[in-house]
A = this chain, B = another copy of it.
Amino acid sequence: MSESIRVAVVGATGYGGAEIVRLLASHPCARVTTVTSSRLAGRPLREECPWLGTDLVLSSLAPERLDADFVVLAQENGFAMERAAEILPHARIIDLSADFRLRDLDVYAQYYKRTHLNPTLPSAPVYGLPELVGHEEIASARLLANPGCYPTATLLGLAPLERNGLIAGTPVVDAKSGVSGAGRSKKDTEYLFSELAGGFKAYGVTGHRHTPEIEQELGRAVRFTPHLVPMTRGIHSTSHVPLRAGVGRDELRQLFRDFYAGAKFVTVVDAPPSTKQVQGSNRCDLYVDFDERTGMAVVISVIDNLVKGMAGQAIQNLNLMAGLPEETGLPTSAVWP
């Protein structure tokens, strides 16, 4: 089985694509065979991504000549819905974009400011959050929609409460992200080092695109605001949740531990976690507390937005789709400090 799974990364020079290449470098059963870039075909990947110890050379995407069992699409929104139908006859797809996450295409159009092409596909896309979605469903997917980073962190934090019928009102989800979430190609003044270092701010205060994704999977409306932290990696989601009466702190912690008893990548921790303690790993660390004075639970979840929030989760899904244990080749220890 050694390295028998072939993976193509479409858009390998962005943060998500390059992270797939980095993580698969130590995967025992999969290897990257193709890396594409529309702009830099013919150049060594390392020229653009000097941090990767690789000799791969960038090529143009040619679906019919792909030397791959799996294609990871690491592209802007809009790419996957345009090209998926063309690629699917040749390989299974894991799409890192939002194109196939939302079932209601009107909601997609409203939040992503474009009409969804709604292409004809051999089967429906599967939303790939392995801790909350059936592994069999993921295993049989031909087109997997990899979740967004904020939804991953937030849903892992809220699901134990929602699925146990404990939520008594609109959760307030106050989320924070490292800057790499903005990607590598946003060259606005706003993302310059000098503009962001030493400052903290909110954005998308009432209309962020991940709102409907969270609501679809949670089955409930949420009040959601994201913020930008002067750090490169990490998501910290703080949810303040009105609870039905009669649940205390210790009960909550036990409930979370039980809920994630079998999960390889979710840890319920005893102290408020730093995003840094999951940096570079595929872990999600969860902390839950209860504020008696207001009757609200506070749920904190931290992930690395580029690993569990993107490339790591994609590989976790790929493992399941390939019939491997989900944790194969994925780090559970973080890079600290």
Contact = CB atoms under 8 A, between A and B. Distances in A.
Copies in the assembly, this chain: 4
Given A189-B185, A238-B202, A240-B225, A337 B195 contact: yes
A21 interface: yes
A205 B298 contact: yes
A140 interface: no
Interface in A212-237: 221-223, 225, 227, 229-234, 236
A127 interface: no
A253 to B, nearest CB: 13
How many chain A residues sit at the interface, stated as a range, is 35 or more
Nearest to A174: B174
B193 A197 contact: yes
Interface stretch (A83-91, A129-137, A288-296): A288-296
A200 B337 contact: no
Interface stretch (A58-66, A151-159, A275-283): A275-283
A18 to B, nearest CB: 7
Contact of A232 (B176, B193, B240, B271): B193
A263 interface: no
A189 B192 contact: no
A261 interface: no
A25 interface: yes
22 contacts: A15-B337, A18-B336, A21-B333, A25-B331, A49-B336, A50-B271, A51-B276, A51-B277, A53-B283, A170-B296, A179-B194, A182-B194, A192-B192, A195-B337, A197-B198, A201-B236, A201-B272, A202-B236, A202-B300, A223-B240, A225-B238, A230-B231
